[in-house]
Amino acid sequence: MQRSRVIIDVGALRRNVRTLRRALDGAELWAVVKADGYGHGAAAVARAALEAGATALCVATAGEGLALRREFGAARVLVMGPTGRDELRDAREARLEIVVSGADVPVGLPIHLKLDTGMGRWGLAELPTPPVDVVGVMTHLASADCDERFTAEQVERFRSATADLPERLVRHVANSAGALRFPAARFDAARCGIALYGLSPFGEDPARDGLEPVLRWESELAQVKMLAPGQSTGYGRRFTARRPTWIGLVPVGYADGFRRDLTGTEVLVGGERRRVVGTISMDAFAVELGAELSVGTSVTLIGDGVLAEEHARISGTITYELVCGIRRSEERSDALVADD
C-alpha cells in the first residue's frame, strides 16, 4: 500500500530561484541543498536550481559535496561546515571548495575564509592575510529574519573587515532572509536555502515574498469509523468523543516525519480542512470528520494552501526542521518529481 506520497514541484523551485535572483539584483544566487535539499531531495533540487540560474551548490559536509559531484561534474560546490583532515584528499580530487573557520588553512583546494561577525558559531575572530588558495570571504547572519539592527551591525563588521582585501575574492553574506529583505547584505553572492523551497524564512505566508511551496505531501483515509460518546482514539486517550463523531485514520505518523506535536493542526480531507485529533502514533494519525467519508478519500498534509508554516507553528518549531524530518524512503513514502 502506498502510505503517502511526497511530490516535488521543480517548476515552483525554478520560479523561486528566479524570484530570488530578481531580489538579488545582480548578485549571484548559490543554492543551499544540505540535508538532502532540506528533505526535498538534493539532486532534483540542485538540477532545477542550476537550470534556473543558480551558480553554485552549497552543502554542510564533504560527504554531501562528493555525492553532488558524482551527479554534477562541472558545478561549483561549496562545503560550508568543517572538513576533516581525513576528507581533504577526496575534497581536492572532487574539486570541492571548502570553508575554513580556524587557523589551519589547507592547501591545494579553493578556500573560503569565514569571519564570525556575530553568529558566535563557526568563524574566525579576525581575517588573516589571505593565503593564495583563498577565493572567497564570507560570514553568516544570526538574525536576518527577526533583528534588523543586529543584521546591519554584522554587515558593517564584514564590510570593514574585508574592505582592504583584493577585489578578486568573492564576498558572500546573505542567507534567504538577508537576500529577500537586506539589500546591504547582497555583496557578490547569496547562499539561499529555505526560500528556494518556497518556505518563508520569516515563518509567514511565503506568498508575501512571492515564493511558492515546492513540497507537497499527500495520503488518503485508510479507515473511517464512528466514535460513540465516551470513546477515544489513540494512545493516552487524549481525544474522547462527546457526541457521535466520525474520525478518519491516515497511515502516516511520526516515523514518517508527521511529528508527535502536530496534534491540533489541520490537513485537507477531500478538499476540506480537518483537525488532527488525539496522539499521533508512529505510523498513523486521526482526523475529525464532519460526516462519514469513504476509505480512499484524499488527504493533503502539505499543499493546496496547507502550509508547512502552519504545522511548524503548531509544533513550536521552524519549517526547516519540519521538512528535514519528512521521510521520503521507499517504504514510507514515494517521492515523485513533477515537471512544469
311 touches ligand PLP by CB under 6 A: no
**Is residue 114 annotated as a catalytic residue, yes or no?**
no
Instruction: Spot the catalytic one: 34, 114, 197, 254.
Output: 34
Which of 39-47, 68-76, 126-134, 190-198 is the region at the interface with ligand PLP (rule: CB under 6 A)? Answer: 190-198
Site for ligand PLP in 44-73 (CB under 6 A): none
- For residue 235, indicate whether it is catalytic: yes
Rank residues 80 and 241 by Cβ distance to ligand PLP and give the closer one.
Answer: 80
Give the DSSP letter string of 87-102: GHHHHHHTT-EEEE-S
Task: Report the residue number, 55 or 297, with the smaller CB distance to ligand PLP.
Answer: 55
Closer to ligand PLP by Cβ: residue 32 or 262: 32
Which residue is listed with cell 562528493?
A: 66
Whole-number Å distance between alpha carbons of 333 and 86: 35
- Residue 222 is given by DSSP the state S
Distance (Å, whole) CA 155 – CA 173: 8
By CB under 6 A, the residues from 80 to 119 that bind ligand PLP are 80
| Interface pattern 156-175 for ligand PLP (x via CB under 6 A) | -------------------x
Closer CB to ligand PLP, 4 or 175, in the complex: 175
Q: Which stretch binds ligand PLP (CB under 6 A): 45-53, 191-199, 251-259, 297-305?
A: 191-199
**All 3 cell numbers of residue 219?**
495520503
Sheet holding 272-277, edge to edge: 223-227, 245-250, 285-289, 272-277, 266-269, 298-302, 215-220, 5-9, 334-338
Cell of 65: 559535496
| Options 3, 140, 274, 327; binder of ligand PLP; rule CB under 6 A | 140
**Residue from 75, 137, 194, 224 binding ligand PLP (CB under 6 A):** 194
Q: Is 256 helix (H, G, I), strand (E, B) or coil?
A: helix
Burial class for 297, CB neighbours closer than 10 Å (0-12, 13-18, 19+): middle
Binding site for ligand PLP (CB under 6 A): 32, 34, 80, 140, 175-176, 191-194, 201
